[in-house]
């Protein structure tokens, strides 16, 4: 990497972090969450970038360099369908196989009677979430994994080997991708780690949306207990992937925890009490969370304002941008707010006009990052994305503004919030205490044996939780 490119990277990192800490950098950072758009720009199909992550990586690097973005995600397509097919996951429609090659991958919502978790299985989930995922959930969502007690098979055994090795290969490749973004174009990796709210997990991957809405009415105490049981595990996954330098935020994908998917009362009883403590705990350890608020979250802005200042970045999709700025802008950085329909169907002039409107309304004092309202897919046009980028670079400079290299805002002072205790602690599949009973008397260094066991056991835990959260 040349000295000039390293200098560009450092300038962009300072710019990006200063904005996220709700400060005023030299200019507005440009951070598009570009998914299938990168395929369109680089000349690939949706199938190619979903099924071959190296093509997705290359397309992302090409966009980052050609558009001169400050930050982006190494692969916003993210779900590598080669991996999901190795595991045999059934809830994806794969481009080029189940759907046309130039359509982005799709999640398949389970029918009401075919949810991946049954209505009477809450107690199993609550007692041991990791065990439930392996023993009950995975056999239902995988075409190859056999249910507990049934005869095993060649494809059952192979799915774990192929799935585990594929996941390790894919996740390891992000380190190389981030380094190439840095050395080739001075681009910052926009997020690190993944998080989802407990109630969203129930609706997305376990009970399905219809099943969850019925449970909220018919067995609300079980829903709340399940959310509480998931809390420490979701916190563990988020922190395990967090930026060790505590610069870029953990990505939090917000789905159906808002009105009208749930009522305001259900948000206050189930969603927020099991989400807020996790965010507070993450911030107490020095990490921000990017609230990628898909949909419209106007009803809940007052709740988000309860969080510690600078602990989150709030991304605007359909949420009223002026209302969000009024309620949250004094505490948190905002991002997004450029409608995807404009990028798909508008003219470059209309995009520039909307960017000016947003910048004038919410970015005058800093604390704003330019991006589309939602993930940019292949319906966006190259000329409109370029208009968003170029206009922000030209119009988004702050006169006389500066930023610091260090001390970019107050952070937490260590763990402090109350996260529920678990019978089996997060990050563990088989506790060492259980494994030790199976071993003969240890004649050498017991701590060495324990450490290696726990480190390898943690990989098994990582595998199943990322199957749930990431794929």
What is the per-residue pLDDT across 402-435, written as a single tens digit (0 to 9) for each? Answer: 555 444 444 555 555 689 988 999 999 999 999 9
**pLDDT band at residue 382 using 50, 70 and 90 as cut-offs:** very high
The C-alpha atoms of residue 85 and residue 170 are separated, in whole angstroms, by: 14
The C-alpha atoms of residue 193 and residue 323 are separated, in whole angstroms, by: 29
What is the per-residue pLDDT across 279-314, written as a single tens digit (0 to 9) for each? Answer: 999 999 999 999 999 999 999 999 999 999 999 999
**pLDDT band at residue 13 using 50, 70 and 90 as cut-offs:** very high
Amino acid 412: pLDDT: 57
The C-alpha atoms of residue 28 and residue 398 are separated, in whole angstroms, by: 8
417 vs 100, 109, 242, 285, 383, CA distance in Å?
47, 34, 18, 11, 47
Domain residue spans in the chain? 427-471
Amino acid 3: pLDDT: 80
321 backbone dihedrals φ, ψ, rounded to 5°: -70, -35
Give pTM, 2 decimals.
Answer: 0.95
Amino acid 416: pLDDT: 56
CB proximity list for 264: less than 8 A, separation 6 or greater: 299, 300
- Per the CB < 8 A criterion, the answer to whether 266 and 215 are in contact is no
């Amino acid at each position: 990497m040349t000295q000039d490119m390293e200098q560009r990277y450092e300038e962009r990192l300072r710019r990006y972090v200063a904005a996220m800490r709700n400060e005023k950098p030299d200019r507005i950072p440009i951070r598009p969450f570009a998914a299938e758009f990168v395929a369109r720009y680089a000349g690939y199909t949706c199938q190619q970038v979903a099924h071959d992550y190296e093509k997705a990586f290359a397309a992302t690097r090409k966009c980052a360099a050609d558009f001169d973005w400050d930050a982006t995600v190494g692969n916003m397509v993210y779900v590598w369908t080669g991996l999901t097919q190795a595991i045999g996951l059934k809830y994806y429609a794969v481009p080029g196989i189940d759907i046309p090659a130039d359509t982005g991958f799709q999640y398949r919502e389970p029918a009401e009677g075919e949810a991946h978790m049954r209505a009477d299985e809450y107690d199993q989930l609550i007692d041991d979430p990791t065990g439930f995922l392996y023993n009950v959930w995975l056999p239902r969502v995988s075409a190859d994994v056999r249910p507990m007690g049934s005869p095993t098979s060649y494809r059952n055994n192979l799915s774990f080997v192929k799935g585990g090795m594929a996941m390790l290969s894919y996740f390891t490749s992000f380190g190389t991708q981030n380094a190439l973004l840095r050395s080739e174009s001075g681009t910052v990796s926009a997020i690190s780690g993944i998080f989802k709210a407990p109630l969203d997990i129930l609706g997305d991957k376990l009970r399905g949306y219809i099943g969850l809405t019925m449970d909220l009415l018919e067995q609300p105490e079980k829903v709340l207990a399940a959310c509480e049981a998931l809390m420490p595990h979701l916190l563990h996954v988020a922190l395990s992937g967090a930026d060790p330098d505590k610069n870029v935020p953990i990505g939090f994908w917000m789905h159906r925890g808002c009105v009208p998917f749930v009522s305001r009362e259900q948000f206050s009883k189930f969603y927020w009490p099991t989400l807020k403590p996790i965010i507070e705990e993450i911030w107490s350890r020095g990490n921000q969370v990017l609230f990628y608020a898909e949909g419209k979250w106007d009803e809940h802005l007052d709740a988000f304002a309860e969080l510690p200042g600078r602990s989150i970045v709030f991304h605007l999709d359909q949420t009223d941008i002026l209302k969000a700025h009024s309620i949250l802008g004094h505490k948190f950085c905002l991002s997004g707010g450029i409608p995807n329909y404009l990028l798909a169907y508008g003219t470059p002039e209309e995009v520039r006009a909307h960017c000016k409107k947003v910048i004038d309304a919410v970015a005058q004092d800093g604390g704003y990052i330019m991006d589309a309202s939602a993930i940019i897919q292949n319906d966006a046009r190259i000329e409109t994305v370029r208009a968003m980028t170029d206009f922000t670079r030209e119009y988004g400079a702050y006169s006389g503004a500066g930023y610091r290299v260090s001390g970019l805002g107050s952070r937490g002072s260590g763990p402090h919030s109350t996260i529920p205790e678990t019978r089996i602690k997060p990050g563990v599949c088989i506790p060492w205490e259980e494994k030790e009973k199976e071993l003969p008397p240890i004649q050498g260094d017991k701590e060495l044996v324990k450490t290696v066991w726990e480190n390898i056991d943690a990989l098994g835990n990582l595998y199943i939780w990322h199957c749930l959260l990431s794929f």
